[in-house]
Each structure stands twice: as C-alpha cells, then as structure tokens.
Amino acid sequence: MLDPGDVAEALVVGRCDGQAAVLALTNRALVLVDDRQWKPRVERFTLDASLQVQGWQDDKTASLTLVVGGRQVVVERIADRPVAVEMAQRIRARTGG
C-alpha cells in the first residue's frame, strides 16, 4: 500500500465508511487503507494546502475528518486518542493548516 521510498511516520486505526481502516502519515503522503472485502479502499492524499484535517474526541474515542477537493473522508472510532491528536497536528504542520 505504500510506494517505494515511503516511510511511515504515524498511524491511526479506526473505521471509515463502516470498515476497519488505517490512516498512515508518510514522508510523502497521507495514505488511507480499509478492510473492505474483495476490493480494499486505498487512497493517497497529497500533503499540501488543499488537504485540511479536523479532529474530535470524546471520553472514549477520536475521529479525524479529511477535507479535500470539496469532499470529506472520516476516520472514526480511533481508540488511541492521543495518537489521533498527534496525527492531526502532524498533518497540519505539513500542510500549513
């Protein structure tokens, strides 16, 4: 799922569109992979000003919403809330958001 030369810097695990999913921040992109049967979703997002991230958390889980190209991609039910907060901060630092 990662391209040659990609180095994973941070990972969160949650659910996207009802499927188990991993969101990986690499040295070159943000990569979303889900566990959909037969044809997993694999999506790469460029780390530039066109990508925005919004984060929410409650007392149990967190969620990250990626806003790009007029659409939203939500990774929810992230159990490790501190890692989700750190991921959002890293994305914002890389995209200028």
Beta-carbon count within 10 A of 81 CB: 17
pTM (two decimals)? 0.90
Under CATH, to which class is 8-95 assigned? mainly beta
The domain locations on the chain are: 8-95
Say what the pLDDT of residue 3 is.
Answer: 75
Q: Give average pLDDT by consecutive 10-residue segment, the chain, 97 residues.
A: 83 96 95 92 94 94 95 96 95 90
Supply φ then ψ for residue 93, to 5 degrees: -65, -35
